[in-house]
Structures are given as structure tokens and as C-alpha cells.
Amino acid sequence: MNIKVSCLQMDIAFGDPNSNYQSAEKLIKKAMENHPDIIVLPELWTTGYDLARLDTIADMQARRTIDFLQTAAKKHKVHFVGGSVANQEEKGVKNTLLIISKDGSLRYQYDKLHLFKLMDEHLYLEAGATKGLFQLDGHLFAGVICYDIRFPEWIRAHTSEGAEALFVVAEWPTARLKHWRALLIARAIENQCYVIACNRSGSDPNNQFAGHSLIIDPWGEVLAEAGEHEEIISAEINLELVKEIRKQIPIFEDRKPNSYH
């Protein structure tokens, strides 16, 4: 059975959650014209990288964003890899990826492990400590956030446990667009998995963002790619292909992890 996935490549309003919820609602409605099974949003889509004002604009316990996605999931009967949100907790703000099933239940939260110092994340955010593994419709997937893709050992920690698709949410800048494409294609090939990567478009006071959201198959073939502007891309993924490729070239059986030190 094929699964249709759609990425909402949003142009995020800097530090303006109300505007971003409105934009997301319109894009979700538009995306549903293609009847996806899973909708993916980008990183920090409610606030953008307005990190200096997180004390006033971060989402307390991610509650508003969870409520928004739960309502949309039940209304449209679609799963959400709900991008990430600046999540205000007692001990600080985390960059939290939200997984919402089509019945409206919160299935999983993943807090970004690797904070990107070049964009001052370490000054305003607390790092997570758990993996991004989650299940939807009986399939095991993994979700990571932006800078995480530069750590192949972190991605392999998920696929070695059986994850068949990697969902990446990001605010990746135009200056490193070549890295974005190369790293995502490499992660797909070396992990023999689908990669569904949703980036943002547009700019903020300090950055121009690359867009170019991608859906990549386990052979590294690009099934769909956005341009640089706001756009929705969709493609069907067939998880049977993951199983076939992993049998054909059994890299997970041939690994020698005890020697990798």
C-alpha cells in the first residue's frame, strides 16, 4: 500500500504566531485537495527564528500548537508530522517536533538533540535527550530536526531499529542549499529509507531560507522537490520498496558496530 505525503513549504512570518497559524490553516486546506495521508510542516513554523523573544512568543507546553494540529487532524482525517514549535517548559524552551495521528491523538514529541550554534540556538534553547522514533498506521518512522541530518550516527540510531522513513523538518538557509540536498540524498541511500524533508521558504532579518523541500526514495532518487518559494509538494511512498532494498543490499546485517570505535 502506498502512502501519500505532502510537505507544506511555508513562508514563515517572523515572530508572529497568529499569522503563521492562519497561513498553516490555508495551506493545510489546499494540501487536502490531493488527499494526503501525512502532512509535514517545517521547523519552528509558529515563530520562525525570533529566538530573542521566545520568553513572550514560545508556546507553553506546545499546547496551542497541539490543539491546532489535533483539530486539523480530526477535521481532515490526516496524520501530521507537525513541524516543530518553540515549546516553553519549566526548565526552558525546547525545539519540539509534534506527531499527531488522524484521530487527533498526540502520538509523540521529539526535542531537537543537536542545537545549531551558528544560529544561536544554544543560547535560547534546551537540547533534547531522546530519539525521534514513532509509529503511524503500524509503520515505524523517525523524525529529526534540521541540523540533526549532519550527524549520520544519529540517523542510523533510528534506522538500525527499523525506521523505514525519515521525516526532516527544517529552516535551512540558502547559503548551504548544496549541503541540504547532498546530505538528505546520502541519508536516504545509506539508510535505505525514504526521506521526507520539509524546509521553509522566505527570509527573516538575518537569513534567506532555501526552500527545496524534498521527497527522496531509498535509492536516492528525488520523487518531488520544491523551488525556493512557498509551495506544497507531494509524492507516494511505498514501504515495501524499503524492505526489498534492505534484502537486496543487506547493510544492516553486514554492519560491524563493535568495530566502529
Summarised one tens digit per residue, pLDDT across range 225-248 is 999 999 999 999 999 999 999 999
Q: Is 91 a catalytic residue?
A: no
List the grid coordinates of 31.
Answer: 494540501
Backbone φ and ψ of 49, nearest 5°: -90, 40
From the list 7, 94, 121, 146, the catalytic residue is: 146
Q: Which of 7, 112, 164, 193 is catalytic?
A: 112
Fold designation for 2-254 = Nitrilase/N-carbamoyl-D-aminoacid amidohydrolase (3.60.110)
- The pLDDT tens digits of the residues spanning 43-87 come to 999 999 999 999 999 999 999 999 999 999 999 999 999 999 999
Per-domain residue ranges of the chain: 2-254
The question of whether 198 is a catalytic residue gets the answer no
Give the contacts of 100 (CB within 8 A, at least 6 positions apart). 66, 69, 70, 73, 79, 80, 82, 106, 107
The pTM of this model reads 0.98
Q: Which of 43, 121, 164, 171 is catalytic?
A: 43
Decide if 112 is catalytic.
yes
